[in-house]
């Protein structure tokens, strides 16, 4: 592909435990969609099976703050106290240089910021869980976080759910197979538009 390729951006946002990562992984496996995952930067330790340079670029809080000062981020946020997440401008450039479309698995605020910066190129999709109770059940089932962290995520989920109408599309992840098919159709249609 040419260096001047400017693909589409697909933002998938949702509260933790909604299933957005499962949906994004499914879409990445659909070769016809020509998607590449945008790896976010995180100022935290890897959890569970996460790998640096695959799931996130893990850096220190100080390194993250230096990158903010150098204006290296397309978007960033302090999601929890001293826990920063962001998207490097070079990450989108890297993916477009491969001739691919960019897919983000990103928090609500970051997703909306990307949509604002690239309004015509971006499809912002909110993945809605069946209920807050179901979210809590899914987070506990992961067994990756303490009860306090889970409660923090649940409190944040209520605020995030209120932003759903600001997204272009809402996928209700009540039944995974239906949500996966709907996500595939939305992405394919937007690529063609």
**What's the CATH number where 85 sits?**
3.40.50.300
Which tokens belong to 90? Answer: 């070079």
Q: Is residue 193 part of a domain?
A: no
pLDDT tens, 81-101?
Answer: 888 999 999 999 999 999 999
Q: Is residue 4 part of a domain?
A: no
Q: Is residue 32 part of a domain?
A: yes
Q: Is residue 106 part of a domain?
A: yes
Q: Is residue 117 part of a domain?
A: yes
Helix (H, G, I), strand (E, B) or coil at 37: strand
Model confidence at 2: pLDDT above 50 = no
| pTM for this entry | 0.87
pLDDT tens, 97-113?
Answer: 999 999 999 989 999 99
Model confidence at 61: pLDDT above 60 = yes
pLDDT tens, 122-167?
Answer: 999 999 988 878 888 877 887 777 888 888 888 888 889 999 999 9
Total count of domains within the chain? 1
Question: What is the rounded distance in angstroms from the CA atom of residue 24 to the CA atom of residue 92?
Answer: 16
Q: Is residue 42 part of a domain?
A: yes
Which tokens belong to 191? Answer: 């690529």
Q: Which structural domain range is residue 111 located in?
A: 9-188
Q: Is residue 30 part of a domain?
A: yes
Model confidence at 59: pLDDT above 80 = yes
pLDDT for 16:
81
Task: Give yes or no for a contact between 26 and 181, defined as CB atoms under 8 angstroms apart.
Answer: no
Q: Is residue 1 part of a domain?
A: no
């Amino acid at each position: 592909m040419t260096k001047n390729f400017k693909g589409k951006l697909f933002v998938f946002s949702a509260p933790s435990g909604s299933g957005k990562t499962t949906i994004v992984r499914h879409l990445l496996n659909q070769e016809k969609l020509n998607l590449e995952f945008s790896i976010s930067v995180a100022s935290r330790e890897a959890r569970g099976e996460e790998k640096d340079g695959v799931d996130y670029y893990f850096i220190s809080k100080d390194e993250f703050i230096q990158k903010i000062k150098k204006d290296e981020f397309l978007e960033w946020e302090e999601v929890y106290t001293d826990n920063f997440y962001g998207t490097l401008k070079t990450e989108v450039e890297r993916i477009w240089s491969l001739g691919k479309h960019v897919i983000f698995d990103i928090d609500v605020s970051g997703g909306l910021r990307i949509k604002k910066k690239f309004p015509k190129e971006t499809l912002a999709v909110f993945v809605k869980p069946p209920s807050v109770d179901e979210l809590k059940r899914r987070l506990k089932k992961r067994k990756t976080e303490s009860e306090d962290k889970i409660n923090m995520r649940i409190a944040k989920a209520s605020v995030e759910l209120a932003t759903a109408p600001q997204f272009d599309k809402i996928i209700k992840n009540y039944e995974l197979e239906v949500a996966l098919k709907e996500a595939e159709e939305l992405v394919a249609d937007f690529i063609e538009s």
